[in-house]
Amino acid sequence: MRSAMPAEAPLLGAIEAGGTKFVLGAGTGADAIVDQVQIPTRDPETTLAETIAFFRRHPGLAAIGIGSFGPLERNRDAAKWGHILATPKPGWSDCDLAGAIARALGVPIGFDTDVNAAALAEARLGAARDAKVSVYVTIGTGIGGGVMADGRIVGGSGHPELGHMRPRRGPDDADFAGHCPFHGDCLEGLASGPAIIARWGQSLSHLAPDHEAHGLIAGYLAEMCNSLRAALAPDAIVLGGGVMGTPGLFERIVAQAAARDGGYFALSAERVIRRPALAPISGLAGAFLLAADLL
Kindly list the residues in this chain that would bind Zn ion in the complex (CB under 5 A).
Answer: 164, 180, 182-183, 186, 188
CB of 168 to Zn ion, least distance (A): 15
- Measured at the alpha carbon of residue 18, what is the angle toward residues 13 and 21, in degrees to the nearest 5? 85
Q: If DSSP states are collapsed to H, E and C, what string results for 129-185?
A: CCCCEEEEEEECCCEEEEEEECCEECCCCCCCCHHHCCCCCCCCCCCCCCCECCCEC
CA distances from 199 to 204, 240, 247 (A): 11, 22, 20
By beta-carbon proximity to Zn ion, the closer residue of 182 and 264 is: 182
CA 79, 81, 83, 85 torsion: positive or negative? positive
CB of 156 to Zn ion, least distance (A): 19
Q: Please give the helix or strand (H or E) that residue 224 lies within, else none.
A: helix 212-232
CB of 198 to Zn ion, least distance (A): 14
By beta-carbon proximity to Zn ion, the closer residue of 192 and 256 is: 192
CB of 30 to Zn ion, least distance (A): 31
CB of 184 to Zn ion, least distance (A): 8
CB of 188 to Zn ion, least distance (A): 5
Q: How many CB atoms lie within 10 A of CB 196?
A: 24
CB of 94 to Zn ion, least distance (A): 22
By beta-carbon proximity to Zn ion, the closer residue of 169 and 183 is: 183
By beta-carbon proximity to Zn ion, the closer residue of 186 and 273 is: 186
By beta-carbon proximity to Zn ion, the closer residue of 143 and 279 is: 143
By beta-carbon proximity to Zn ion, the closer residue of 42 and 183 is: 183
CA proximity to 33, closest of 51, 58, 56, 8: 58
Q: Is 64 helix (H, G, I), strand (E, B) or coil?
A: strand
Q: Is 269 helix (H, G, I), strand (E, B) or coil?
A: helix
By beta-carbon proximity to Zn ion, the closer residue of 164 and 260 is: 164
Taking a C-beta distance cutoff of 8 angstroms, is the pair 143, 191 a contact?
yes
CA 271, 165, 250, 70 torsion: positive or negative? positive
